[in-house]
Amino acid sequence: MPTTKLARLALEDGTVFHGRAFGGSLKDFEGAGEVVFNTAMCGYQEALTDLSYTGQILTMTATEMGNYGIAPEDIESAAPCVAGFVVRELSAIVSNQRATRSLSDWLADAGIPAIEGIDTRALVRRLRMGGAMRGVISSVSLADASDLDLVARARAIPSMAGANLAAKVSPRCSGKYEEALGEWAPRGGLFADSKPAPAGRPAGARFQVAAIDCGAKRNIYRHLVERNCDVHFLPHTATAAEIRALRPDGLFISNGPGDPAVVQTVIETLREVAGEVPTFGICLGHQLLALALGASTWKLKFGHRGANQPVRNLLTGRIEITSQNHGFCVDEVSLRAAGGEPTHVHLNDGTLAGFRHTTKPIFSVQYHPEASPGPHDSAYLFDVFVQMMASRAPIGAAEMERAQAALAAV
């Protein structure tokens, strides 16, 4: 059952919300970060373990959370990584045969502070109007810290702009990811009945993918493994020589947290190897690829976070409902000047959601085709990457249409 311990959420603009504490620890807790919101109706486990939320206090707009508990198979990293969690109502029961524990107990063990019982509609409206804000969740009593004290603490938090958080969450050493999708594997798509193999190699040979891991979600790697890829993940400090030593068929750059413009180690490496092998980027990886080519990025007012974001594929004309989680965006004008061509656009605000290079085998998207959580509309992009590795040529509209149509026919 939810606790009766009081907690507060204080924003840098002076707003303070009063609610009830859960998660955290048995003692007083306090968590600080950039307050953002996610419009997905479910998927709190995947969101809470998405390393892209590092340094952020996550607010869910759906009214009730925790009703299906925690299932270990559904998490995207080793543990919850958010700075705090905000919900309207924490479910008093857990109803799910796969669940092993409650959301509150799970967050408590991880030391993640959380608050329920506040008006999340009012909070989200304030974030939409004023933009993402720095904030503090605290269960410390009023006697020990006034509302003004908490607001002052919120204002002292470093800005997300200029924060190199990818360096914080990237793995410290390289390794190989081997888990496939298993029972969650798609029942259609280009490779539903066959396993693709690299050209010029024996049947059954696997594509070798070097993955620069800036905080990757597990389900991204599962999709690649499912499509006959050996995924060799590397820390964000990986050099061009280390990538070349793997002799990969393709290069993948993962999602991750923070400001892409300050992840210079990855940008410099990508600038050196750009176009040597087919390359695919997702979210932060999309931004880093654009920066390496010479484009620029900028911070969105409140970002795109949710599993219901509409995107148009400009090459096929099809609409995708996508899962997204980012606070920065690639500038389209600078991308075109750097040799990039937009392939996808976000229909809510017209921002760039994907691009390909006009002469090099490079493409990327701002959103999450692995759909964890979210719809499966964009899973075809993994097929596109495999096609590009097989042909070792820039992706074309025909290949994109073929992969998207195969998935849509399921």
Q: Give the whole-angstrom CA distance, residue 110 versus residue 236.
A: 25
Q: Give the whole-angstrom CA distance, residue 249 versus residue 38.
A: 35
Burial classification of residue 94, based on how many CB atoms lie within 10 Å of its CB (0-12 exposed, 13-18 middle, 19 or more buried): middle
Among this protein's residues, is 368 annotated catalytic? Answer: yes
Selected catalytic residue, list 76, 283, 320, 346:
283
Q: Give the whole-angstrom CA distance, residue 96 versus residue 65.
A: 13
Q: Give the whole-angstrom CA distance, residue 363 versus residue 319.
A: 18
Find tokens 């399921």 and name the residue.
Answer: 410
Residue 274 token pair: 């750009």
Q: Give the whole-angstrom CA distance, residue 81 versus residue 76.
A: 10
Q: Give the whole-angstrom CA distance, residue 23 versus residue 7.
A: 11
Among this protein's residues, is 286 annotated catalytic? Answer: no
Q: Give the whole-angstrom CA distance, residue 316 versus residue 393.
A: 19
Among this protein's residues, is 283 annotated catalytic? Answer: yes
Residue 88 token pair: 């309207």
Q: Give the whole-angstrom CA distance, residue 291 versus residue 316.
A: 26
Nearest Cα to Cα of residue 304 among 256, 253, 348, 255: 348
How many CB atoms lie under 10 A from the CB of residue 337? Answer: 13
Q: Which helix (H) or strand (E) holds 10?
A: strand 6-11
Selected catalytic residue, list 326, 346, 368, 376:
368
Selected catalytic residue, list 76, 226, 320, 370:
370
Q: Give the whole-angstrom CA distance, residue 237 versus residue 108.
A: 33
How many CB atoms lie under 10 A from the CB of residue 74? Answer: 19
Q: Give the whole-angstrom CA distance, residue 306 versus residue 285.
A: 19
Would you name the residues annotated as active-site residues?
283, 368, 370
